[in-house]
Amino acid sequence: MPRPPKCRNINAEPQACYFKPRGIPLGELEEVRLKLDEFEALRLVDLEGMHHADASRKMKVSRQTVGNILASAHRKIAEALSHGKALKIEGGPVRLMSRLPKASRHRTTRKEIIMKICIPTATKDGLKAGVYGHFGSAPYFTLCDSQTLKCEIIDNGNLAHEHGMCNPLKAVGGAKPDAVAVGGIGMGAIRGLNAAGIRVFISTEPTVETTMAAIKSGRLKEADASCACGGHGEQGCH
């Protein structure tokens, strides 16, 4: 199973996150998603003219990884321009590094940028919905944008799975969130989500709204083996 991608440091956010062809309604457009680490690699190498080795030191990744990130970014931009698609910049395994005066850099704080959060819920009440205690058996998933707090409700596409046979990616309906926040989840589901580049956080908050606030403030713990629900072992979603 592939390892989840390592967090990449970024030092700037885009001033605009959405670009579209003029005169075509949003509802008629396909989207290409450019991740924030891809944006950062473009900014450092293509805009500022850095060598890959210098950009890799800035982003805290290998030079080869910078090359791979750039190649992916170039393909996505070419696809959007060639086929008239919208370009949306969001998400990705990144940390925004605070720009502080040199004298205070030893106290630098890091803000995790996590754009789309998937939270299992019992109802379709958006931000007011209660966080469901078990990932695999939740009736719905509320997909929430961490910046706008706009919510999208997804039916659990894997609700009827047999015990021990949960497919976490099928469960979230191919929504490709950046992270999942849940009260309870099995180790198999944690590994399956991590392998797809989706981070998992354990939430004890009562609602989607308070969970989003906890994520943005960095209060939630990222899931590991000690957080997994014991009743479902290696394979379970819970």
Q: Write the DSSP string, 133-156.
A: S-STT-SEEEEEETTT--EEEEE-
Looking at the structure, tell me whether residues 91 and 29 fall in a common domain: yes
Domain-ending residue, one of 46, 81, 112: 112
pLDDT score, position 53: 93
Q: Average of pLDDT values for 178-197?
A: 82
Amino acid at 55: A
Looking at the structure, tell me whether residues 172 and 186 fall in a common domain: yes
pTM assigned to the model:
0.51
Looking at the structure, tell me whether residues 74 and 122 fall in a common domain: no
Residue 1 forms part of a structural domain = no
Question: Could you tell me which residues come within 8 angstroms of residue 26 by beta carbon, excluding any fewer than 6 positions away?
Answer: 20, 86
Residue 133 forms part of a structural domain = yes
**CA–CA distance, 137 with 171 (Å, rounded to integer):** 9
Structure tokens, 101? 């005066």
Looking at the structure, tell me whether residues 123 and 228 fall in a common domain: yes
Domain-ending residue, one of 112, 144, 173: 112
Looking at the structure, tell me whether residues 183 and 88 fall in a common domain: no
- DSSP assignment, residue 41? H
Count of the separate structural domains present in the chain: 2
**CA–CA distance, 18 with 63 (Å, rounded to integer):** 28
Average of per-residue pLDDT values in the chain: 80
Residue 220 forms part of a structural domain = yes
Domain containing 151: what range?
115-232
Looking at the structure, tell me whether residues 100 and 23 fall in a common domain: yes
pLDDT score, position 199: 85
CB distance 45 to 56 below 8 Å = no
pLDDT tens profile 38-68? 999 999 999 999 999 999 999 999 999 999 9
DSSP track, 65-129: HHHHHHHHHHHHHHHHHHHT-EEEE---SEEEEP---GGGGGG--EEEE--EEEEEESSS-GGGS
Looking at the structure, tell me whether residues 127 and 157 fall in a common domain: yes
- The CATH number assigned to the domain holding 189 equals 3.30.420.130
Residue 27 forms part of a structural domain = yes
Domain-ending residue, one of 93, 112, 131: 112
